[in-house]
Structure 1
Amino acid sequence: MSETPAAPTGGRVVDITVTVALILISLGTAVCFFFAALLWAMGAVDNGGAVALGGYAPLALTVLGAFAGIVALARRRTAFWYPLGALVLSVVVWFIAGAVVR
């Protein structure tokens, strides 16, 4: 006979909910940072490296954080740390790139 999967516990449901919410928030933030970096590119300052760092690094960190969070969820580990870390690193990298552009 086949076994039915066990119902998620209360803590597991919270971890799944928070992880998915953080992935969505991180994705929205990375898209906003990307468009802000495009505005930097249209400005008078010619600093392509900082524009690329501010635009593409948050997107890459978001993808890595989402992937690691989903893998952790599949392995039944605490997963919200991965997208949270990616979000924090994205903000830090974007501010560093913003300081370089000025």
Structure 2
Amino acid sequence: MTAGESGALERRTGDLIATLLLIGFSVGVAVVMFFVALLWAVGAHDNTLAIVLGGYLPLAFCIIGGVFGIVALSRRRLAFWYPLIALVLSAVAWLVALAVVR
């Protein structure tokens, strides 16, 4: 094993760990966002748009980001960006839903 192969292996391992941690974290955050959005349904007002934006959309972003991340890992490409972008989009969608609720 040469020095170049060792550096590539370390970089690959770091990307794998970062991608899997981000996928797990985004799943947890999406589930929390979903249940908070369900609490909005308990209110007296019709918050259907807020529930869709704050509950279902983050779950969809999480699944899409996880799938794209795993596909990128299998193709040996830099993969941690996909779940990271999905996490950011989930947060933005949830904040928009929070603005709709108020």
Q: TM-score, normalised by structure 2?
A: 0.91
Give the unaligned 5+ runs of structure 2.
none
What is the distance in 1 between the residues matched to 2:53 and 2:89? 12
In the TM superposition, 1:61-80 aligns within 5 A as: 61-80=61-80
| Structure with a larger share of its residues in helix | 2
- Aligned to 2:76, the other structure's residue is in SS state coil
State the Cα deviation string for residues 50-94 of structure 1 (Å, max 9, x = none): 111110000000000000000000000000000000000000000
In the TM superposition, 1:1-102 aligns within 5 A as: 9-102=9-102
Identity across aligned pairs (percent)? 57
Aligned residue identity for 1:98: L
- Aligned to 2:41, the other structure's residue is in SS state helix
Q: CA deviation at 1:45?
A: 2.2
Cα RMSD over matched residues?
A: 1.5
Structure 1 runs of 4+ with >2 Å offset: none
Number of aligned pairs?
Answer: 97
Aligned to 1:3: none
What is the distance in 2 between the residues matched to 1:10 and 1:44? 54
Q: TM-score, normalised by structure 1?
A: 0.91
